Each structure stands twice: as structure tokens, then as C-alpha cells.
Amino acid sequence: MVENRTKRANTRKILLNKDHFATPWDLFYKIEDDLGIKFVFDVCASKKNHKCKNYFTAQQNALKKDWSKEGFNFWNAPHSKNKYFVKKAYDQYLNRGVKSVGLIPLNVLSSEYAFKYIHGIAEIKFLKGRPKFLNPTNQKISKFPSRNGYILIIYGKVSKSTSLNISPYNHFQ
């Protein structure tokens, strides 16, 4: 019984840590389709949740690497590191021409760093609704939608410039 309580407590800690929730596959494919692009590199991934054949894990630290110039990079950064990934994407785009799309919480737009690295530089697309991300303990869709609204920030020209309408979408509420 103590073992079960410990396991539940550990699971709860992981679920409360928003850094480990991954992007669902159908949202990933919907973003590619709606933007008319194909992602070639996932810069915020793990061996369990990577969305592209090529990816960086936390141990490889994408913040210290050059990102791919061969196509669009995808990133759904750990929330605790959004600021650093926004700045990295900005730097990679301006200094190397690297194209990327970041899936980040809507509230980032009012941050000081957003005014420095996003506004007037990146294209911003709003996602309608609140996504349900993959549970980090079992890689299944979470029972509950995120408490945050989300946006895509796009560094580089996409094939389709239409308004992104992700909803209706299986994992949005």
C-alpha cells in the first residue's frame, strides 16, 4: 500500500510539472498541414516523444546547438524554458536563416522577451481552444485540456498564409 501511495505521489509530481507534456501527433500533423510545411527537426524532444526523425533531447541541449537549416524545426519547449527557446529561435533565424515553429502558451505574448524577440519579427498564429497534451507517464492524451491557450510563433515564410484554424480538433475543449 505504501508503494502505491509513493507511485501515485511521483506521478502527481510529474503531472504538475508542465515541462514534460508532449505534443499530440494529430496536433503536430494538423500544424504541418495548415501551414503547408513538413517539419524536419524536433528541437525539444525525448526518445519517447520526438515528432521528427531528427531531434535533440534535453541532454543534447538544443539551446547550445545549431538548428537544422534544411527545413522547418518544431519546438514545444518546456514551459520553464520558453524564454530561452524564443530567444534561441530568434537568434537562429536572424543569424543563420533557420526556420522554426514554436508551440507556446498564449500568455508569453505579454512578456518582456516577447516584445524583444517575437513581436514584429515572427508570425503569430492563434490556436482556437485549449489542447490536451500527452501525459508524460504513459504518452496518452491527458484527460483534461491545458489551462492555457496556445499560439504558434513562426520564424520564416510558410507555404500557406491562411489563418490557422486548428479547431475542431479531437483534443481541444
Whole-structure pTM value: 0.82
Q: Does some domain include residue 172? A: no
pLDDT attached to residue 100:
97
Q: Does some domain include residue 160? A: no
pLDDT attached to residue 14:
46
Q: Does some domain include residue 169? A: no
Q: Does some domain include residue 28? A: yes
Please state the domain count of the chain: 1
Q: How far apart are CA 5 and CA 9, in angstroms?
A: 6
pLDDT attached to residue 50:
92
Q: Does some domain include residue 47? A: yes
pLDDT attached to residue 171:
45
Q: What count of other Cβ atoms lies within 10 Å of the Cβ of residue 14?
A: 13
pLDDT attached to residue 138:
78
Q: Does some domain include residue 36? A: yes
> Which phi and psi angles does 81 have, rounded to 5°?
-120, 15
Q: What count of other Cβ atoms lies within 10 Å of the Cβ of residue 11?
A: 14
Q: Does some domain include residue 167? A: no
pLDDT attached to residue 117:
97
Q: Which regions of the chain are under pLDDT 70?
A: 1-20, 160-173
Render pLDDT for 74-117 as a digit per residue (tens, 0 to 9): 999 988 899 999 999 999 999 999 999 999 999 999 999 999 99
Q: Does some domain include residue 150? A: yes
CATH number at residue 107: 3.40.50.150
Nearest to 151 by CA among 170, 173, 123, 117: 123
Domain, as residue range, for 37: 2-155
